[in-house]
Amino acid sequence: MIESILKKEKYNILDVRTKMECFIDNIEASVNIPLNQIPYHIEDVRAMQPVVIYCAAGVRSAQAVSFLKQEGLTEVYDGGGIDDLRQKLNK
């Protein structure tokens, strides 16, 4: 499913890792909103849809997607960990 989203022309990428993790390494053009800040940025994420969400290993991205879907967002997708998503983006 994520591969079909990444083939679209328009989507955004959201990094839910900490600011420090993002500073050390990130995917170009991604927006950083740490997982613990997501509840305060629901409308920002809503405006970013469709959005692919990633973290370090896939746990926090799955939590973010689950939470956002509970809040009614429909175009949020779990990109998994940074290395996995980077690999998919380079295909």
Amino acid in position 15:
D
CA distances from 52 to 16, 21, 55, 81 (A): 11, 18, 10, 11
- State the pLDDT at residue 82: 98
At 8, is the pLDDT very low, low, confident or very high (cuts 50, 70, 90)? confident
pLDDT at 59 over 90: yes
pTM of this structure: 0.95
What tokens appear for 52 in the block? 């692919």
Average pLDDT over residues 52-62: 98
What tokens appear for 87 in the block? 């690999």
